[in-house]
Amino acid sequence: MIQKAVVPADSRWAEKDIADFRGQPVSRIRDEWMLITAGDTSAEAGNWNTMTASWGGLGELWSKDVAFMFIRPSRHTRAFADSNSLFTLSFFDQHCQKALALCGEKSGRDCDKAEEAGLTPVVFDERLAGGRIAGAVSFAEATQIIVCRKIYTHDFDPGNFLDPSIEKNYSGKDYHRMYVGEILALLEAR
């Protein structure tokens, strides 16, 4: 299913240094959740998908500021993350928790999640981050957005789990793919 068409992001977004990320990344991701969004709207405005995530992190790798996230093979968003170089991690205030819950429970294969969740998808143009984030999709209701360029992927191999309790997360043997993205911009709503 094609998701709701994006609208151009307005001028309320300010670029910040990733060191200015508000809150503790662990609690923001684990407790408040984030939306992972990927796609290409250049040919078709609704050619993207989003999903709720509570696993991921921020850090430094290969002398770059990076974000990392994980997607199971069954998730519709995975095909978009695999076929596009940009992805966003979007963070929201508590009043959007129901919308994030819906985006985690429903599949973009079956419905227009943004429409059902009451979210406004936006696409960024060349005015921010020196044009490097043009085409990245997020949401007008977000308070902070991390825009990344995918630089590495890796499929989890259960043979490498050193702690046997990890396997309980994979009763369906649907092991995550890890995505590492170079952080191109932290955007904050003004």
Q: How confident is the model at residue 113 (pLDDT cuts 50, 70, 90)?
A: very high
**How far, in Å, CA of 139 to CA of 9, rounded?**
8
- The pLDDT score that the predictor gives to residue 31 is 96
User: Tell me: the pLDDT tens digits for 142-166?
Assistant: 999 999 999 999 999 999 999 999 9
pLDDT tens digits along 64-100: 999 999 999 999 999 999 999 999 999 999 999 999 9
Q: Report yes or no: 148 and 86 within 8 Å, Cβ to Cβ.
A: yes
pLDDT at 141: 97
Model confidence, pTM? 0.96
The rounded distance, in Å, linking the Cα atoms of 115 and 99 is 10
Q: What does the pLDDT read at residue 61? A: 98
- How confident is the model over 115-130, as pLDDT tens digits? 999 999 999 999 999 9
DSSP 67: E
Neighbours of 95 (CB within 10 A): 8
Question: Which domains, from first to last, does the chain contain?
Answer: 7-189 (2.30.110.10)
Q: How confident is the prediction for the chain on average, in pLDDT?
A: 95
Predicted pLDDT of residue 13: 96
pLDDT of residue 68: 97
Per-residue pLDDT, 91: 98
CA distances from 184 to 86, 162, 171 (A): 9, 33, 35
